[in-house]
Structure 1
Amino acid sequence: MNIHVLGFFTPWIIYALITLLHYYLPGRWITGYVTHSETGELLKYRLNGRLVLFVTVLIWFLLGYGNIVPLDWLYEIKWSSLAGAFVFGLVFSMWIVLPYPSTGKSFLADLFLGRLENPQFKEGRIDAKMWLYLIGAVMLELHVLSFLSHHYCQFGSISPGLILCTSMLSYFVLDYLSFEKVHLYTYDFFAECVGIKLGWGCLAFYPYFYLIAIWATVNLPNPNTPTWLLICYGILFLLGWSLARGANMQKYFFKTQPNKSFLGIQPETISDTYKTLLVNGFWGLSRHINYLGEIVMATAIALSVGYPEVLWVWLYPLYYVALLLPRQIDDDKRCALKYGDLWQEYVKKVKYRIIPYLY
């Protein structure tokens, strides 16, 4: 078979494998935060992302060391693979949008943003949003490992900066799949539908674009970045992770166990007759401190490869800025409608939107 044809269908095959593993491997049923649109009951999710990640990576290495599939295969067919994922993402998005009634928005808006809020299949064993994030995360990890293998094959060693970048991205994936239940309480699940933005975004954009720093520098030699500077980049990444993970975990504990302290922080709230808002800890620093954490992590990843003069590496943190600033504005509007006067009181207490003392 032509290598380009095989490359085109490689993501289709990998996505099918991940889906089968997700469906058949053991998982935990977790009650989420979102309610069913018809019954009003809280949706349940079957989660096993970390196990799926481990098994998929194990299969990938066995295929590589068995000389069945080269370990750098995803690098070798990167462009045809991207084309295959692009088409797969569009086909999925059409399939999940077109058969369902309009939301009242324009056709293009429905196609991009979606019509179904929380689609689940196979008696709830597969939730569309969790499946999409699982596909994107696992495929991203396979790309990272494959590109790293290519760099080693080309130079006979791996630069410390590339090792650091790989470690950061791998930790990013592992962390997300280890705390799947926490993300059931994030903006995506209660405020977004499934269309091209989430569907194509997770199937084609997420697993290919997030490694842009590695993609742009994988064929460049070791930049000899000083060790102390690499340590600084690692600390910067951990700072961003602490803000993002800490904020999400504090929110999770507050939603599930309102009176429980988190990292020694006893919840401080404001409330009216029906609603309560958290106003201290991470959520006292800014109204979207987790967004700042995501941007800081992305910046550390861009810096770690040691080629700040390569403009492509900066697309990753710039993407987060472009994604999260409009999301913050939209989320503030949604909260203002939902919480009314309580939100105005909250804004007075927590003045900053994302960056404490600046914005």
Structure 2
Amino acid sequence: MAALALMVFVLVLFAGSRWIPGRLVPAAVTDGPAMATGEAAAQGAGASRVYRLNGARLFALTAGVAAGLWIWSPGVLLRPYRHWGELLLAANVFAFTLAGLLFRTGRRRVPAASRPSGRWRGLGDYFYGVERNPVWAGVDLKFFSYRPSLIGLFVFNVSAAAVQYTGQGSLSGRMLLYQIFFFVYLANYFQFEGGMVHTWDLIAERFGWMLVWGDYVLVPFFYGVCGRTLIHLREPLPLWLGAVCCALFVFGFWLFRGANDQKHRFKTGDAVTIWGRPAKTLGGRLLVSGFWGIGRKLNYTGELLVYLSWTLLCGTASLLPYLLPLFLLVMFVHRAHRDDRRCRVKYGRLWEEYCRRARFRMFPFVY
């Protein structure tokens, strides 16, 4: 039953992504090394692909259904929480199966000469993927997979709130703040979904088990661990802690969204001014204004603070919620190093000059 529910959920979102109207935006065109001929022929040049930005409508429809169920049939909202383990198992089977299908179809479409070589090439093709942007039925699977990932996380969060509400008759201050923080975070993602077109994941990463498992298992099932922890936490939220969490969320969100917005406007040619001043660049290729003139990955810092803000709502009831920001810290540091290596190859001496201008990666005066 859990497997059927999961498949229906993903297929409904897939159909919505295919057919619900939305603004079309072209894929980003990179100025880095050209894609191997075989891979380019298999999946099309970047400029020829377009993305339909209808994720906000899918999220709004899901939120509307959840609101209706909360009013008329709240018992339905308890099911994701109650069947969490079964859904987790089904999601793992789905992720491993989808990665296998991508492995097989990718190897048929992309010649061996166009794929990374090495002794463990087969395992690497499964783990990292073969194609960068596989398209099924007119839908870019990598771009689409953020939707069941984040909308699935929203469903689990609402289910946690429903469990507390039906069991205790109200939502605690901790749970209420957590739900508000997360809703704003998710709604903002879909509001600015077009910014994903210019991210490293969408442009350069191949789509294999690593990203598939992250989208369909890691994010929806483990990023909401705070919500599950808060269900049975009865300790009142101290005013000082609530204020600290709100300040962390607002500052982190401003840093995260502000840095990403500046980069997106620069990539699309709209960054005429940043913070009221003309935007400055290095060679017209690297932005050195605003947040990007201070640090090279302050968007990671902001997102980390956002996650820390709702983790602190759990207090000291359990150490489990704190594993998420710790995991994100390790992941962001690793990704910052990977991005640094890639940019050194791509931009050469220009990147060295940029690093002298923006001396910090994530934490000013620390890292």
SS in 2 for 1:117: coil
The answer to whether structure 1 residue 323 and structure 2 residue 318 are counterparts is: no
User: Is 1:357 aligned with 2:365?
Assistant: yes
Aligned positions, number: 347
Q: By how many angstroms is 1:8 displaced?
A: 3.8
2:177 match: 164
Deviations 1:157-179 (A, max 9, x none): 11101111111111111111110
Q: Tell me, in whole angstroms, the C-alpha distance in 2 between the residues paired with 1:220 and 1:7.
A: 28
1:51-85 CA-to-partner distances (Å, cap 9, x unmatched) read 00111232344456554961211111111111111
CA distance in 2, matches of 1:226, 1:173: 26
Give the percent of matched residue pairs that are identical in Structure 1 and Structure 2.
29
Give the Cα–Cα distance (whole angstroms) in 2 for the partners of residues 330 and 195 of structure 1: 18
Structure 1 pair 155–187 and aligned structure 2 pair: CA distance change class (3 A): same
Deviation of 1:107 (Å)? 2.0
- Give the match's secondary structure for 1:29: strand
Q: TM-score, normalised by structure 1?
A: 0.91
Which residue, out of 289, 293, 300, partners 1:291? 300
CA contact (8 A) 1:294 1:320 kept: no
- Asked if the contact 2:336–2:361 (Cα under 8 Å) also holds between the matched residues in 1, the reply is yes
CA RMSD of aligned residues (A): 1.9
Q: Aligned letter for 1:197?
A: M
Q: What residue is the counterpart of 1:145 in the other structure? A: 158
CA gap 1:261/1:117 in 2 versus in 1, 3 angstroms: same
Poorly superposed stretches of 4+, deviation over 6 Å: none
Structure 1 position 340 matched with structure 2 position 348 = yes
Greater fraction helix: 2
Taking the TM superposition and a 5 Å limit, the aligned residue runs for 1:224-239 are 224-239=236-251
> In the alignment, which residue of structure 2 is the partner of 1:15?
10
AA aligned to 1:338 is K
- Superposition deviation, residue 270 in structure 1: 1.4
1:1-359 to structure 2, matched below 5 A, reads 6-34=1-29, 37-38=40-41, 40-42=45-47, 43-63=49-69, 65-67=71-73, 70-101=76-107, 103=115, 104-105=117-118, 106-123=121-138, 126-221=139-234, 223-257=235-269, 260-271=272-283, 276-305=285-314, 307-359=315-367
Which residues of structure 2 form unaligned runs of 5+?
Answer: none
What code does the residue aligned with 2:289 have? N
User: For the residues of structure 1 that align with 2:134 and 2:161, how far apart are their CA atoms?
Assistant: 36
CA distance in 1, matches of 2:265, 2:273: 8
Structure 1 spans left out of the alignment, 5+ residues: 1-5
